[in-house]
Structure 1
Amino acid sequence: MSRDKRTLEFYVLAAFFALFVLFLYGPLSAILILSFQGENGGLTFPLNGVSLHWFANLERQAVGDFGGSFKRSFILGLMVMIVTVGVSLLAGLAFRQKFRGATALFYLAVASLVVPSIIISLGIGVVFQQIGFRPAWYTSAFGAHLTWTLPFGVLIMFAVFNRFSPAYEEAARDLGATSWQTFAHVVLPMIAPSLIGVGLFGFTLSYDEFARTLMTSGTFNTLPLEIYGMTTNVTTPVLYALGTVTTVFSFLVILATLGAIAYVGGRRPRA
């Protein structure tokens, strides 16, 4: 391949990547800028002054139930994260050994990924009503979110254990370690970064989920539902201020997770 052709391909790929980044982060940048509108500013450009007025308005909860919905989404995300990490770890350990029905169980575990989210939400909501339980964010929505996060967690742990050498465990047992000691002091430290990643998947997928929450959250909204409701009746930049706050929070969660992975990865045993 000639040098000129490689240069052309490089510029084409660079242009494509630049367009992708612009498409991905352009709307976020617009929301971020418009959230600093002046007190008399509107929902569109140009800016009518620069201020923190709409963030202060948000802090006073002048619109919607931002505080309550954020708290519910945060707690729900933590619940989903804990269960996703635990079940994914157990599934990864279980599938290291061949057993009857393993293939069917695997496809059953990931089947919810190919079913439309709104159908799962509707089905879970109907089932709860039929058995006499009122749908709520901490019961039916919790189960609906697990149908979304567990398949991802299980697939990640399958990939992790697929390349995990059993030689480490055999060496630990040769040195007299019990099965529990081998797991706690050898296996767990080596897969800890992957478990943190699974936890991040569980939390963020739950925190941002809309479709599977729509029919299962019950009386009280989670944050995505609250934001959606605000788009229908809020005509001030306070909506952009809310978007900026939630986006910054999401990035902080990701950065904290990456920091935890780097810290744990630096302390784990080396091969």
Structure 2
Amino acid sequence: MTAQTEDLWIRNFHPAPDAAVRLVCFPHAGGSASFYFPVSRALAPGADVFVAQYPGRQDRRTEPVVTDIGELADRIADDLAARADDRPIVLFGHSMGALVAFEVAHRLRARGTGPASLVASGRRAPHLYRDDAVHRRSDEGLVAELKDLSGTDAGLLGDDEILRMILPAIRGDYRAVETYRLADGTAPLDCPVLALVGDSDPRVDVDEVRGWERHTTAGFALEVLPGGHFYLVREQAAVLAALRERIAALPASSLPVAG
């Protein structure tokens, strides 16, 4: 890997300080920053790609897992605010990451620092809930969920040592997602929202994803791609194209003036 910024909450695998736009990516439950390394490599230097790294995984594996979406959003928004410049931000989150991105978007808006666009992938709209309790299952039940979603390498799921390392983070992330509730009185965002979903996602249906429309006053688009919950792995080219289109569609007035 190329050099990355030394930072707990945000990683920058391919720094592109001259890029006109910053793209911030948010991993799924159990996911880590490295999941977005290919996205960073593909989009740099056209975009300066930052990736959130949650506690409890990879180099942060000894830290307690944060089991509250709001707390994650607070910490990440603080970090992004500390490194703010005049470049617009596009937020992209998959599954749990879509919720974190949404809450970060509200916190950045309250600070007057964006975002310019939000891309929510593989997640029902924030106001829609299900009575799920995956985080209360046994380890075997949690592994079964991961296999259903096909989001974790099958070889890893058969390795007891690796499972002991990753299951606490996955369980904590599921608790964060399943206990999340949209705060009363939350106003729609004033930036465009693009929602992406796989057409055979076993946990999210298209109508639930279409519900993101009520969370913006600035334009909504829905794109359904072939695949299940982790459609974005096989359909990476289509996802990258959608992100490039979002970035290209930013109004000239939002971009920094050269010179």
Whether TM-score is above 0.5 comes out as no
With normalisation by structure 1, the TM-score equals 0.22
Greater strand fraction, Structure 1 or Structure 2 = 2
The structure that has the greater radius of gyration is 1
Greater helix fraction, Structure 1 or Structure 2 = 1
Higher relative contact order (CA 8 A, sep 6+): 1
